[in-house]
Each structure stands twice: as structure tokens, then as C-alpha cells.
Amino acid sequence: MKKNIFVLMSSVLVLGAALAGCGGADNASTEGSQASENSGQPQVLRMNLHSEPPTADPGLAEDSSSGAVVRATFDGLTRLDKDGKPLNSVATDVKISEDGKQYTFTLRESKWANGDPVTAKDFEFAWKRVLDPKFASNYAYQMFYLKNGRAYNENKAKADEVGVKALDDKTLQVTLENPTPFFLELTAFYTYYPVNQKVVEGNAQWAAEAATHVGNGPFKMDSWEHKSKMVLVKNDNYWEKDVVKLERIEFSMIEDENTELSMFEAGDLDWAGHPLGVIPTDAIPPLKDAGKLTVHPKAAVYWYKFNTEQPPFNNAKIRKAFTYAINRQAIVDNITQAGELPAMGALPPTMAFKPDGYFKDNDIDSAKKLLEEGMKEAGYTTLPPITISYNTSERHKKIAEAIQDQWKKAFNIDVKLDNKEWKVYLEDLHTGNYQLGRMGWNADFNDPINFLEAFKDKNGGNNDTRWENPKFKEALEKSMTEKNPDERKKYLAEAEAVFMDEMPVAPIFYSADVWASNEKVKGVQVDSLGFIDFKWASIQ
């Protein structure tokens, strides 16, 4: 699961979304670019990253902007194809044991951007680095599928007991705790990417600047003007460089969505909107009516996280009261306006166990009753001050203002709003420096556990709610060892039911990616997990 700046499942769109007459590639910067043999167009793609990526290190990446940069500059054992299926990438072959617990990967001849050979040891080093408790990766739990992965992360096992071992330079042996049907999808996810051991050990800040950043992907980092611009260029050491048509990707870093759209319409950007930018909400209806907008549903949910260690949201009934009092239909009709569905559960429709949801939208009567009961339980005569936190975005601001107004009408309370820059906002959520904060969750792989497992442990890397429940944990643990698919679904459904009864998050809507792109942009892959991949992109 990854955090999304904006919303913050395995079918893929190969994009050729049209927006005729707006920003042709002829206006693109041609610095350092070469023309495609097929099209004669400069192979330069210009996009916007709504905010500065917090990191370009695959072991630390946890959000959509960082993930896009890492996916462009690194490559894993597998990579998702246009249909969202894992293809062999750095691995040329994989053998799976009969019990489904051991994977043996054979690696192809490939190089890092600096010319060093990519070896199985780089994968072993990278995976154990993510699990190392001193490294403090928020995505360490994605490695708990490895034998002793969790034990090592919790200082209960040694690194050499973790189920990943380089047998030689080209052979990686992986042993899992339990059979994991989606493991080859996981190896396509950036937490499982390799890092160059020599580079990482030689410079703790290697991923912070373009001059020292070294990946093994289709592109390499050419420049990084922090909070301003990032440029990626084709990596001539990439193992499949012949399929990479783009010579250059230029990322602007503009937070104002109106400026982003204006640049697109002026021909200064080739793409406006998701997955990395934002279309202004007011511009969505006219663009949609004009047929210039792509709306792409995905397995993702926009929700508000409660800090369950801060009053009054340390009371489940009060959390449920505030959740029930949100008018989701009004938000999707009047603000987001892209056909999003109101969310009455934790799981998106493609994997929901209870499609009709766990509560009614805008249920003010139930909300008032729950608030009264919760305040009595907590000993409140009046509620403590309530503050909604969100990262900089006009869309997030409008949603927060709408909910602020809805809660004022439902409970006659004044709610404060607190806006922060993305990197600061993420850090505040992780450290518990918030009361109620918005976040989007895009699936990392196509399985319900990806939405639930982040909340398994109170101190888990992505569990900013600080919520934990023994029945929830037990159901998830049973699902992880259950081999019968139907029984496994029952355990996962049981876990979701506990989650929704305790309500550590307030689901608001199931998200969709919305963008406009120059008709000359082809082959950019955006899948229903919200991932974007530029490996096969071109300008025609």
C-alpha cells in the first residue's frame, strides 16, 4: 500500500489519452534529447510532481511521488506488464518449490547506472536493510512474508536467519514464512528493489542528490533542484535499454493545481493531473464535457485517519459518530466530481466483503446518538478542540472545509483546519503530531490484506492511528497461514468487520485517477493500483 499525495486491481491502461491542440511536443525542451527513429519527435516528457518527493531511496519510499521516481530509476526481479501481470525483469527465471515457500531466482546480466554489475547480493543486502530495525523503514512489514523477516525486524532473530540468500552472483534463494500467491507481484514493488551495496555503504546520503544517486532502472537521475525540478535521463546501462524510447523526463514541482493546468494548456507540460499532479476540481466538469479528461478508477480509498491516542478520538463511539456524520455523496458530487463512489467500508469495491458497507452515508441521527454515548463514556460535558490536518492541495482544502461545515451542522462544534507541506505532513502523521488527518491509500498488490495489514500492529510503520486490536490481529494472522482460499476470505472479512466496528479511520470515497494528456504521449502505463511506469512511454 502506498500513501498518495492526492487520494492518498491489476489491469493496466496503455495511455494515448487525447487532448488535441493543447501543448504539442513541438514545444518541448530539446536539451539533451534525441528524436525517435519512428516519430521524429523529441523524446522528452514533461510532467508535474505536485510536491517534492520525500525520498528517492526504494527502501524508504512510501508515497506516490517517491514511488514514481524510484520505479523509473530502479528495476526489480519482476516488473508489471501492461496487463498488470508480473514479468521477469532483472530475473530471467524463477523456480517455485512444491510447497510454495521457496523461490529461486536466476538473475540476468545487468548493470547499475554507474557500470557496476547487479548481483544477487545487492538484493539480499537491500531486503535485509529494509528489515533492519535501525533503518526504520515504514514499509518493513512488506518483508514480513520472508522467513524470520518479522523476527529480525523485532530484534528476535539475526540478519543471517532471514529467508533471503545470494547463493552466487546470479542466484537468489528466497524462503517464505507461508505460501504467498502474490509474491511475484510483491517483487515488482519498490520496497523489494535492489540497492547498490557499495554505493549505500559509502554514503549514507546517496539517495538525496542526483550526483550520488545510483539505480538500475530504465532512467537515471540527471539533476534534482529540490522543491523546484527533477530531470531523469535514459539509462544506457539498463539491461533492456532498446525498449526505452524517452530520452528525458522533466518533472516540475508545482503545488498549485491551477498553475499546473495553465502550464499544460500553454504547452509547457505534456500531462496535467493524476497520478502525480492534480486537476483543479472546478476544471473537471468542463474538461469532462469536452471529452478531454481521462477518468481511471483504481483500488484506492480516500480516508481520514484518527489518532486514537489523542482525545476525543481515543473513544470508538466518538470516532464512529464523526464518521457517520460525513455526507460523502455531497463531497463526490460537488467537489471531486469524477464519479468517485462514497466509501462505507475499508476495502474498495473490487475486493469488498460487504459491498453495501457497514453504515449509512450522512446518518446524522445515529451520529448524534453515538456522540452522546461516547462523551458519557469518556466523561466529557463538552468536546476537546478538533483539528483536521491535510497536506497542501486545493482539493484537500475543499474536502476539509466541507467536512468542517458538516460537523458544525451535525454537532454544533467549531473545527479547525491545519495545512502543511507534504514532507512535513507525513512526518507529523508518523510521529503522532496530529489529531485527525487525511490520507489516500492505493493498493500495492491486488489483495485485501494490503489494506488491512498496515493496522495490525500499533507501532507498525504505516499505522499512524496507533490503533491495535487482538481480535483483528488474530484474524489477519489466521488468514496468512490459511491455504483454503474460501476460509482465508472468511478471516479477512472478520478482520474488516472488527476494523469497521472500531473505526480507526473514516472512509470517505473510493478514488479515481483523473488527468489530461497531450495526444502525442503514448505508452505511459497507469494501472488500477495507481502505479505509473514510463519504461514503455514515447512521444509520437
Instruction: Output the pLDDT for position 168.
Output: 98
Q: What span, in angstroms and rounded, lies between the C-alpha atoms of 99 and 147? A: 14
* Cβ 4 vs Cβ 300: under 8 Å: yes
Indicate which CATH number applies to the domain containing 106: 3.90.76.10
* Cβ 224 vs Cβ 217: under 8 Å: no
Model confidence at 99: pLDDT above 60 = yes
User: Could you tell me if 310 and 430 lie in one domain?
Assistant: yes
pLDDT tier for residue 3 given thresholds of 50, 70 and 90: low
* Cβ 331 vs Cβ 509: under 8 Å: yes
Instruction: Output the pLDDT for position 397.
Output: 96
Nearest to 138 by CA among 81, 83, 60, 78: 60
Question: Which residues span the domain enclosing 392?
Answer: 305-513
Listed residues 157, 173, 207: the one ending a domain: 207
Instruction: Output the pLDDT for position 184.
Output: 96
pLDDT tier for residue 470 given thresholds of 50, 70 and 90: very high
> What is the residue-wise DSSP string for 203-244?
-TTGGGSTTT----SSEEEEEEETTTEEEEEE-TTSTTGGG-
Q: CB atoms < 10 A from the CB of 30, how many? A: 15
pLDDT in tens, 365-395: 999 999 999 999 999 999 999 999 999 999 9
pLDDT tier for residue 192 given thresholds of 50, 70 and 90: very high
Instruction: Output the pLDDT for position 4.
Output: 54
* Cβ 533 vs Cβ 45: under 8 Å: no
pLDDT in tens, 206-249: 999 999 999 999 999 999 999 999 999 999 999 999 999 999 99
Model confidence at 38: pLDDT above 80 = no
Phi-psi region of 76 (alpha: psi -120 to 50; beta: other; left: phi over 0): beta
Q: What span, in angstroms and rounded, lies between the C-alpha atoms of 303 and 112? A: 39
pLDDT tier for residue 14 given thresholds of 50, 70 and 90: very low
User: Could you tell me if 198 and 318 lie in one domain?
Assistant: no
Higher pLDDT, 519 or 9: 519
Q: What is the mean pLDDT of residues 460-475?
A: 92
Nearest to 301 by CA among 463, 460, 505, 489: 505
Model confidence at 82: pLDDT above 80 = no
Listed residues 187, 207, 227: the one ending a domain: 207
What is the CB-side half-sphere exposure of residue 255 using CA atoms within 13 A?
16
Is residue 355, in this structure, part of any structural domain at all?
yes
Q: Which amino acid is located at 209 in the chain?
A: E
pLDDT tier for residue 265 given thresholds of 50, 70 and 90: very high
pLDDT tier for residue 111 given thresholds of 50, 70 and 90: very high
| Helix residue spans in 266-390 (DSSP H) | 284-289, 316-324, 328-331, 364-378
- Burial (CB < 10 A; 0-12, 13-18, 19+), residue 175, is middle
Q: What span, in angstroms and rounded, lies between the C-alpha atoms of 318 and 366? A: 11
Residue 442: phi and psi, rounded to 5, are -100, 140
Q: What is the mean pLDDT of residues 496-514?
A: 95
Percent share of the chain, pLDDT over 70: 93
Is residue 221, in this structure, part of any structural domain at all?
no
The structural domain count of the chain equals 2
User: Could you tell me if 327 and 187 lie in one domain?
Assistant: no
Model confidence at 511: pLDDT above 50 = yes
User: Could you tell me if 199 and 309 lie in one domain?
Assistant: no
Nearest to 371 by CA among 320, 439, 442: 320
Q: How many whole angstroms from its chain centre is CA 69? A: 12
Listed residues 147, 179, 207: the one ending a domain: 207
Taking the CA atoms of the chain, what radius of gyration do you get in angstroms?
Answer: 23
Q: What span, in angstroms and rounded, lies between the C-alpha atoms of 302 and 87? A: 30
Mean pLDDT of the chain: 90
The cell numbers describing 519, all together, are 495526444
User: Could you tell me if 195 and 311 lie in one domain?
Assistant: no
Instruction: Output the pLDDT for position 21.
Output: 29
Instruction: Output the pLDDT for position 236.
Output: 98
Is residue 21, in this structure, part of any structural domain at all?
no
Indicate which CATH number applies to the domain containing 462: 3.10.105.10
Q: What span, in angstroms and rounded, lies between the C-alpha atoms of 395 and 256? A: 10
* Cβ 436 vs Cβ 415: under 8 Å: no
User: Could you tell me if 329 and 454 lie in one domain?
Assistant: yes
Is residue 540, in this structure, part of any structural domain at all?
no
Is residue 416, in this structure, part of any structural domain at all?
yes
* Cβ 408 vs Cβ 322: under 8 Å: no
What is the CB-side half-sphere exposure of residue 425 using CA atoms within 13 A?
26
Pairing status of strand 386-391 against strand 415-420: parallel
Beta strands in 282-352 (DSSP E): 294-306, 341-342
pLDDT in tens, 269-308: 999 999 999 999 999 999 989 999 998 888 889 999 999 9
Is residue 35, in this structure, part of any structural domain at all?
no
Q: What span, in angstroms and rounded, lies between the C-alpha atoms of 311 and 122? A: 45
User: Could you tell me if 177 and 318 lie in one domain?
Assistant: no
Is residue 134, in this structure, part of any structural domain at all?
yes
Cis preceding-peptide flag for 385 (omega within 30 of 0):
no
Pairing status of strand 341-342 against strand 229-234: unpaired
User: Could you tell me if 196 and 314 lie in one domain?
Assistant: no
pLDDT in tens, 317-347: 999 999 999 999 999 999 999 889 999 999 9
Is residue 384, in this structure, part of any structural domain at all?
yes
Instruction: Output the pLDDT for position 7.
Output: 44
Instruction: Output the pLDDT for position 339.
Output: 84
How many angstroms separate the Cα of 52 from the Cα of each of 29, 38, 58, 96, 526?
Answer: 21, 34, 16, 40, 21
pLDDT tier for residue 528 given thresholds of 50, 70 and 90: confident
Residue written as grid cell 530502479: 74
